[in-house]
Amino acid sequence: MSKIKPSQGAPYARIMGVGGYRPTRVVPNEVILETIDSSDEWIRSRSGIASRHWASPEETVASMSVEAAGKAIADAGITPAQIGGVIVSTVSHFKQTPAIATEIADRIGAGRPAAFDISAACAGFGYGLTLAKGMVVDGSAEYVLVIGVERLSDLTDLEDRATAFLFGDGAGAVIVGPAKEPMIGPTVWGSEGDKSDTIKQTVPWDDYREGRPEKFPAITQEGQAVFRWAVFEMAKVAQQALDAAGITSEELDVFIPHQANMRIIDSMVKTLKLPDSVTVARDIETTGNTSAASIPLAMERLLATGQAKSGDTALVIGFGAGLVYAAMVVTLP
């Protein structure tokens, strides 16, 4: 018989607060058209994007995260010293080590929390939320800060007609803490590594050992393949998350998918047969695709504008490079 004591965590976990940060520079499609042969109408019709935010040199992965974290902490009504874990999902922190989470934890005054980065691309927020839920329920931390942050403008090839208009910068954060009833449903997550070449970095870092490549690494993707996968496969995953939580589409209040493409969002709404009463996040129009940051940024905007309210039941799903995905039903803070 095991001599290990049972964990002393909370019975359940919940999102307690949310915060977001968008860089001050707004970049309309007209700027993108300076380097690719396209049109504003084509970009809008293919992606739904009218503008995006790009970070200045001062708006680093760390500084944007600190701003978003501060808002989430205030929204949750806790102090930084109470945070026992910091999880940062990003693909655009360019130092292999140390984890940017350690710097962020120090800058917000969190003391000595567990702090680490994860790389799960556009599903990163869902992965981080799942890990945070486990930490709270296990008892290894009472409150966990989860951040999705990207400076994808650093990884954008402005001459690539297929991707130059897609990506934006920003940070979104949530505080996960204890709950007396289920407020974060079971996670449906996974990967399809046989499709990993459909979204990837163009040049691996170790190529620089042999001499500097002509172009800095960028994110590239096979648009049609990704579109088909997202539309047909991710709707199934979203439905599985609803089923796992015991929720029907009629009981849902809000749908917050990864902000990859407006046509993907609309197709998922149709496939899931969501009622007109369900509020759907379409933050991509003015924020672009911010990868790991897209879901918390969209969540923050829906709550800030009153399109969603505290206590609403929301389905969230992220999907992207890997190909990886994560979906769950949550109660909004």
219/122 Cα distance (integer angstroms) = 13
177/17 Cα distance (integer angstroms) = 9
Region of residue 121 (left: phi > 0; alpha: psi -120 to 50; beta: else): left
HEC readout, 173-184 = EEEEEEECCCCE
Composition of the chain by helix, strand, coil, percent to 5: 40, 25, 35
54/193 Cα distance (integer angstroms) = 30
**Does 29 participate in catalysis according to the annotation?**
no
- Phi and psi dihedrals of 123, rounded to 5? -95, 5
Catalytic residue, candidates 29, 93, 258, 261: 258
Q: What residues pair up with 280 in beta bridges, in sequence order?
A: 255
Query: Angle at which helices 61-76 and 100-107 pack, to 10 degrees?
Result: 50
80/82 Cα distance (integer angstroms) = 5
Pick from 318, 319, 287: which is nearest to 302 by CA? Answer: 287
**Does 122 participate in catalysis according to the annotation?**
yes
Pick from 153, 155, 163, 189: which is nearest to 53 by CA? Answer: 153
289/189 Cα distance (integer angstroms) = 20
For residue 165, give the 3-state DSSP assignment.
coil
Catalytic residue, candidates 29, 53, 93, 122: 122
The neighbour count for residue 162, using CB atoms within 10 Å, is 15
Which residues does 320 contact at the CB level (< 8 Å), separation at least 6?
A: 121, 122, 123, 199, 258, 260, 291
CB 111 within 8 A of CB 83: yes
User: Looking at the annotation, which residues are catalytic?
Assistant: 122, 258, 289
